[in-house]
Amino acid sequence: MAHAIAKYDYFIGKLSTIAGCFTLALGCSFVRVTRACLIYVGVIFAGSATAADDVTRAEAWFNKIKSIEADFVQVASDGTSAKGKLLFRRPSQMKITYRNKDGGKALQLITSKIWLHVDRPDEKLLTSYPLSETPLSLILAAKVSLRPDGYATRIKSSSAGVVQILVAKEEGDGAGQLTLEFSKKPFQLRRWVVVDAAGVQTSVTLYNLAFDTAIPNVAFKLPSYPADN
C-alpha cells in the first residue's frame, strides 16, 4: 500500500502543472496521471475553418451536457494502469474514484466551485487545493472555453469518425499537452491523453457512459476524518 500511495503522490505532484478534465482530466503513475489531468486543460488552435468549428463544437458539447457518469481505464507509458469511476455534474462538480485490485476505493478526487479535494481513504487524509490552479477549472466553468490565454489550440489528424483537440503549453507552470478525443457520431468525449513536462504519456478511456442522469448531492459529499489523522 505504501508503494501505491507513493505513486499517487507522484502523480498529484505539484498541482500547478490531472489536467484534467477534466481532465476531466482526469496523467504517469496514478498520481502523475491525476496531476496531468487536472492541470493541463488548455487547447491548441490550428487556424482552419474546420478546426475552428470542431473546437467550437466541443465547447458547445461541454456547455450543453448536464452530467456524465462513466467507468474509465487509465494506462500510462511507464506501464502503470488503473480503473475507476467518473461522476461529472455541471458546472463545478466532478468526482474521480480509483479502484483497488480488490474493487475497493482508493484515491478520490472531488471538486467544488472553489476547491479540488484529494481524498486518501486508506490514510484517512483529505487535502484541498485551489481549483483555479488546475485545468479542471476550464471544463468546470459555468461557460467552458477550450482556448484559454497562454495555451495554443489545434486539431490533430486522426482516424475517420474521431476528432482530436490538442491543448498545449510549451513552458512555465502547467507545461505539457492534453488531447481531448471525441467520437463524431454521436459527438461526445470518449478519451483524453496527457503528456506531462517529463514526457510521460497517460491515456484515460471512458466507457459505459450515461449522460444527463440525476446525480444526488451526497455523491459529492466530502469524507470527515478525525483531526488527529
Question: Mean pLDDT, 10 residues at a time, over the chain (229 residues)?
Answer: 38 36 35 37 39 86 94 91 93 91 82 92 90 73 84 82 84 70 92 80 92 95 81
| Confidence (pLDDT) at 140 | 85
| Confidence (pLDDT) at 41 | 35
Cα(199)–Cα(77) distance, integer angstroms:
9
All three cell numbers of 156, joined, read: 490533430
Q: What is the DSSP letter of 222?
A: P
| Confidence (pLDDT) at 52 | 66
Domains of the chain: 2-197 (2.50.20.10)
Question: Rounded to two decimals, what is the model's pTM?
Answer: 0.72
| Confidence (pLDDT) at 32 | 39
